Structures are given as C-alpha cells and as structure tokens.
Amino acid sequence: MRFSKYHGTGNDFVLVEDMDDRWRLDQDLIEAVCDRRRGVGADGLIRIVRSPEADFFMDYYNADGAVAEMCGNGIRCLAKYVYERGFIDRTEFDVTTRAGLKRVVVGAEDGVAARVTVGMGLPAFARKDIPMKGPADGRFIEQPLEVDGRVFTATALSMGNPHCVLVVDSAEALAALPVPSLGSEVEHRPEFPNRTNVEFVQVTDGVLRARVWERGSGETMACGTGACAAVVASSLAGLSGPEADIEFPGGVLHVDWRQDEDVYLTGPAVWVYDGELSAEWLSHATAAEWRPRAGATERAP
C-alpha cells in the first residue's frame, strides 16, 4: 500500500491516491494505518478520487476508521498534493466532500503550494442541522454547559460536521485544562446523536487561542473546521471580530467569516514523506484487506 504523509498545522494525515475510484477502505485497516505505535500514525486518512461533479472527491476518515463529513486541514493537504503532483494545473478548483462542494485556492510560490484557502460554507445553528437533540429549529448559542462539575459558556454549530465551542477564562486555564477527559465527555453526550468535535477557546483582546478534541481522533494539534467554529462562536459572543487568527498548539490558522456568506479558512499544508506499507505489516496489522470494487480487477496501490 503506497501512501503519502502530510500535515496542516500539526494535524496529520495519510493520503492515498485512487484517482480512478477502484478501492474501498476497510475501517479496521484505516484504524491500523493511523495507529501511532504500530502503523504510520495520523489523525485521519484521505483517499483522493477524481469526481464527476467537481475536480476531486475527498474520501475522509477519522483515526478510528469512521467516515467523517469534512476536514479543513485535510482538504488543504489534498489541494497541495494534487497541485504539486500535476493532477491539476489551476490554482483554483473544486473538491466534493460529504459536507458538500468546496472551492479551494492555492497560494503557489515557484510551483509550491505554500498556503491554501478553502471556502468552508455557511455555519448552521439549527439543532436539526448540527445535529443536536431538542427543538428542530432551536439554537444552542452562549448557553451554560456543565462538564465534569465545571460550567462553560458553550455554542453548538455545524461547519459541515458538528462542533461544540466552550469558552475558557484565561490562557493559563486553557493550558491546564484536561482536554482528553472533558472533550471525550462532551463528544459522547446524548445531546449529540452523531457525537461532536469540541473546541476549548480563550480570547484576549480579539486574539483566539484554542485546544481541540476531535471526534474519533482525540486531542489534535489543530482542526480546520474547529477553527471556523471557534471564530464564528467568538464573533457571535462579541469576543472577537468575524475575521481573526486562531492559535492552536500546531500553529496559526486564519478565518474570515463573511457574514451571510461562506467562512473562509487559510493555512499551510506540508508534505512530510511518501512511503509504502509492506505486505508483512498488512498481514499482521489487521485481518482486513484491500478489496477492489465489484467488477474491478486492479491490484491494490
């Protein structure tokens, strides 16, 4: 199995090229590949496919092998991959995701995709769209949320995938926060039938700092959709403007919420290395195999 390793502000991914859409990925195999001790190690896996509806399709999975709707850092890595490897010669193109069509713009310097901007779509606040239990058209904005005996001011929204943004009082409190325990508790709350991503955000003089717990991946160095959700929630609360930088442990992302229009996410993407998983590893890591689609005869990549 050939693959490429990329990261966007420390949020890392295994990319698998499958332009002709020949292969299905088994959930057990994806989880084994993303395992940081016995596999490659990643926050998620992206299968890159040509799309009849757009230029490419991003087939994205979280580290636990579960299908996910969207990934802001991942789509920037995909854009860098296809641009630098010659699959497209335009710096502006479309990628379909399970959260809909996304327009990406590559900031190229001497043929290198240094930064990528993605139109992430409109935020959705109705509970039915997140989804979140309660009145279908009701909203959960700047509401108290008790987590493990602590009360946070929280906002729930969708950026194509579910998010719950919790406000933290100080930078010191954010640094000391037990994100794995609190994030996991919020992720699995019964109010979120599809689970949720969780952002812990602290704002000082309009500067956002955040830590994130990603559904199915755990605490990560950054999150693109989470950055968008955090800036939207902070703007609604009057803590920041609709355009802001947000600092994650893995680096800085820029978000521009053009109200009544899309949210735009800008940040870097980095190629780390290309590799190949051995037949020995595949046979020992999981009982699952690469399986061609019905009628396909091609070998696994």
User: In angstroms, rounded to a whole number, what is the distance separating the alpha carbons of residues 298 and 300?
Assistant: 7
User: In angstroms, rounded to a whole number, what is the distance separating the alpha carbons of residues 155 and 233?
Assistant: 6
- For residue 28, give the DSSP letter: H
User: In angstroms, rounded to a whole number, what is the distance separating the alpha carbons of residues 209 and 19?
Assistant: 37
Query: Under a CB-based contact definition with an 8 Å cutoff, are residues 95 and 101 in contact?
Result: yes
| Residue from 71, 77, 164, 228 carrying the catalytic annotation | 71
Question: Residue 176 — φ and ψ, nearest 5°?
Answer: -90, -5
* Residue 226, SS3 per DSSP: helix
- For residue 152, give the DSSP letter: E
The residues near 265 (Cβ < 8 Å, ≥ 6 apart) are 72, 76, 117, 118, 120, 224, 227, 228, 253, 254, 255
| Residue from 34, 77, 164, 223 carrying the catalytic annotation | 223
Burial 94-112 (b: 16+ CB within 10 A, else e): ebbbebeebbbbbeeeeee
64: its two tokens: 């636990």
Decide if 71 is catalytic: yes
User: In angstroms, rounded to a whole number, what is the distance separating the alpha carbons of residues 218 and 206?
Assistant: 27
Query: Under a CB-based contact definition with an 8 Å cutoff, are residues 267 and 116 in contact?
Result: yes
* Residues catalogued as catalytic: 71, 223
